[in-house]
Structure 1
């Protein structure tokens, strides 16, 4: 990860180039106030103040400054991202408030170069800001953690590597980690085990596992985060076509998000009793793969008929959510790249939020809006539970008819969450399908600021 702390610094009057921000509406007024030399230069470049454009303008002698086009209104997270890579290396200060834009300035300079034989060195663009940049730097570090984990190919990010990533963060912040692997996931005397985690992951060369991390004072409010950790999803015996498998290294994006949010909580030393639960599996194919029509036991005691082996994420999450509810957390959040239906409904940039709790849903959406990290609430529509009925078991894992796929997936998870637990489920994409300033094509972090803000609000930690 980039050393973000040296790229976003408190403005103590250090020498710096000035960045003047203009919009398409304010451009004419700014240009009219300039001298003939600058006006001629700007005309030659055809700069007109459009967002994500800039022009370097001459000053006295060899001196120069830059004018950056931004949208109208307060700066959002990505409004200076283009400038952070288009400008030469150096130190800059904005002529005005930077708002949320520090995050994009940092993330535009983040590079995932693990697999490049000769990474291209780039000079640093430092931005001077008023006030303390600590929270922005921490959010950038968490965002980079998600991107790097999701971008790593499944050959190097199997269930074992997911567990190792959790253990690395635990070492940094003094957390404790327990990992249950392979046959140890099966029910034993006095222990319900994690039978669905085992069933989904048993066909892979790398054994499935349940990662359970704890941090903080047990006397503090209980915050539990759960993340779907499918390192690669072939679809199982209901195998995906090649086009459907192309991005499936990102199917552990929920685990990456839960871990990154846990990092934010630990780094801020919030007064919570934090628990992070990640079921980590690869949904592979071999002679012992679970089959369509199989009936799986679950940690909760419910029997699940397998309507589709490609609806595996909800199975492993069900066992993890059951474990989470056993100690009745004050707040339970889960993150998963769960359904294509959510992307059809809301597109790649807007995660779907499900919760019975209006205050929880409002806290997450409001925190997301304030941070430029949006999500959209969708209904846990009770009548659709009928789509999950099984004729021979307690529930089917795949909704009948193909309608409302994101809703039925959330309703499946709802069966495994105790009604007294304050719970929200986030169905996200974890991927940028096309490059934008500060957001290269590849792994994407979503809802981190929304989740962190909601945690502080709901557990009265502000």
Structure 2
């Protein structure tokens, strides 16, 4: 006899009823019932909240039963019914193979973000991602890790500068998924991820409270890695490269300092006015790499700015692009995948919003949070390094990637919000 709790969805209008359910999931003799209304967006939120409710009750196994469970409703329940350690078990009502594949990949992504920084450091992050992707398609995947001073030899000065003060060497992971196995096959897309495995803020040091969750600062790297893993499992037949820019932003006598100037591979000089604006410094290397390989589509993801979170909250990711057609495609794709995504302003003139008297630009403004419009200004900095003046480039500032405490929709920790959207973008025609 199954020990899993049965969970049902029932369509019922309570607008004229004397009694209305006060909880998302109503417990009964046969199990738990989630009562749904006419608004499907609200239904999905209610289903996700019901998943959180059952997790809070200590229910560790459920079976979704009866009519009304389509893929998106089951996925909404899965998101809510995922505890921090991803130990809850679901028996699906239908689409079991697809949903298991999605849940396993998203849980792997969440685990990467949730693991402590003594376990996930630059090279261990790179190795885990390489092993995961090689395990999915060994004959189609090649990987390379460029670490320590080898970064300088190849011109990746941003990653090296940010990570050189740590005993864990900074590194760049390059994964080449090439299903045709032809060396001259064009690179259809390049994914770039911010892999700051711990962010102290450097000499612009964070408060203890602000530093506590900074193991999640490699959430961008985990998100694009998870997206590629999911797309491969869904039958991706285009050449895609993944570039993870990995470093620990720590302090010792070799750490980079305010007033330092970095000269990048493309000749751009950058004055450091805030060592806690380090994510954009490492992503600059990744974007230049994407340009070198001629990728038609470039997508980067990063837990880049607190300003994006102030703007869109923690239930959305923020999107930046100067390519309107591509941005609209990304927004439509996110809507199809039931992931919240909101576009924030970015124009070519945002490149000039972090000026420096001593270099081509600064890495921020010398104000708390980078001043007004901080998320757009950070995206403007990245635009300096995006190929083709930003045509074909999307920047995801993943404000919804991590929650420091549980809420009505998500468990404490990583959400993997954005994995489905980016995976779906890879499957589309450029």
Scaled to the shorter chain, the TM-score interval is 0.7 to 0.9
Check the 8 A contact 1:17/1:65 in 2, yes or no: yes
TM-score normalised by the chain length of structure 1: 0.82
- Alpha-carbon separation, structure 1, partners of 2:78 and 2:332: 24
Residue 426 of structure 2 is aligned to residue 432 of structure 1? no
1:114-151: CA deviation from partner (whole Å, max 9, x where unpaired): 9xxxxxx86x442312xx34333332223212211111
1:207 positional shift? 0.6
Residue 177 of structure 2 is aligned to residue 215 of structure 1? yes
Secondary structure, in 3 states, of the residue corresponding to 2:300? strand
- Alpha-carbon separation, structure 2, partners of 1:322 and 1:440: 36
1:172-213: CA deviation from partner (whole Å, max 9, x where unpaired): 1212110011011113xxx4x211111110000101001101
Residue 376 of structure 2 is aligned to residue 407 of structure 1? yes
1:432 positional shift? 2.1
**Which stretches in structure 1 are left out of the alignment for 5+ residues?**
1-6, 8-15, 32-46, 58-63, 115-120
Secondary structure, in 3 states, of the residue corresponding to 1:379? coil
- Of 181, 189, 204 in structure 1, the residue corresponding to residue 166 of structure 2 is 204
Check the 8 A contact 2:45/2:409 in 1, yes or no: no
- Alpha-carbon separation, structure 1, partners of 2:113 and 2:16: 40
TM-score normalised by the chain length of structure 2: 0.87
- Alpha-carbon separation, structure 2, partners of 1:292 and 1:126: 54
Query: Cα distance 1:89–1:343, how it changes in 2: closer, same or farther (>3 A)?
Result: closer
1:345 positional shift? 1.0
Residue 295 of structure 2 is aligned to residue 323 of structure 1? no
Query: Cα distance 1:288–1:23, how it changes in 2: closer, same or farther (>3 A)?
Result: farther
Q: Which moved more, 1:166-175 or 1:278-287?
A: 166-175
1:107 positional shift? 4.0
- Alpha-carbon separation, structure 1, partners of 2:93 and 2:34: 16
- Alpha-carbon separation, structure 2, partners of 1:101 and 1:226: 31
1:20 positional shift? 4.2
- Of 106, 124, 146 in structure 2, the residue corresponding to residue 161 of structure 1 is 124
Residue 426 of structure 2 is aligned to residue 455 of structure 1? yes
Check the 8 A contact 1:27/1:48 in 2, yes or no: no
- Alpha-carbon separation, structure 2, partners of 1:347 and 1:214: 34
| Alignment of structure 1 residues 126-145 onto 2, 5 Å | 126-129=91-94, 132-145=95-108
Query: Cα distance 1:380–1:156, how it changes in 2: closer, same or farther (>3 A)?
Result: same
- Alpha-carbon separation, structure 2, partners of 1:412 and 1:71: 45
1:288 positional shift? 0.5
Residue 16 of structure 2 is aligned to residue 82 of structure 1? no
Residue 347 of structure 2 is aligned to residue 381 of structure 1? yes
Query: Cα distance 1:17–1:375, how it changes in 2: closer, same or farther (>3 A)?
Result: closer
- Across the two proteins, how many residue pairs are aligned to each other? 410
Residue 196 of structure 2 is aligned to residue 230 of structure 1? yes
- Alpha-carbon separation, structure 2, partners of 1:307 and 1:321: 21
Check the 8 A contact 1:206/1:282 in 2, yes or no: yes
Check the 8 A contact 2:165/2:255 in 1, yes or no: yes
Point out the structure with max Rg over C-alpha.
1
Secondary structure, in 3 states, of the residue corresponding to 1:156? coil
| Alignment of structure 1 residues 166-181 onto 2, 5 Å | 166-173=129-136, 174=138, 175-181=141-147
Secondary structure, in 3 states, of the residue corresponding to 1:100? helix
1:92 positional shift? 3.7
